[in-house]
Amino acid sequence: MRVVIEAVDGDRVRFACVAGRADARWIGAPPTPGEHDVRLEVSGSVSAAGAGEQLEPGRLVARVEAIDDDGVVRLRLGDGLVVLDEAGPATVVGASVEVSKALFELVPVAR
């Protein structure tokens, strides 16, 4: 997933993507502002949501793309995928979910 790092403060970053803006913990050496390819990981409370995609501080709405055998969920957000640490009762492939009280982590990936 491609994001734009807007601000850096230690291991905390402010980032933007096609669905909105949020703050996240950056895993690895602190990045420079600008475009980066990352894996976006999220944890939080999961519930059913209406259609659409949205990213804001503490909240994510996205469509469930897949659920792995180990319970890890892949969410579609724009042209990228978000990794959700575990499925909840509302997590059904093809449905939209809302992750509230969301904590985001960005992991840089080589392209």
Question: What is the per-residue burial (b if ≥16 Cβ within 10 Å, else e) of 9-42?
Answer: eeeebbbebebbebbbebeeeebeeeebebebbb
Q: pLDDT tens, 21-46? A: 999 999 999 999 999 999 999 999 99
Q: pLDDT tens, 70-92? A: 889 999 998 899 999 877 777 89
In the chain, domain spans: 2-108
Contact indicator for 26, 103 with CB cutoff of 8 Å? no
pLDDT for the residue numbered 87: 77
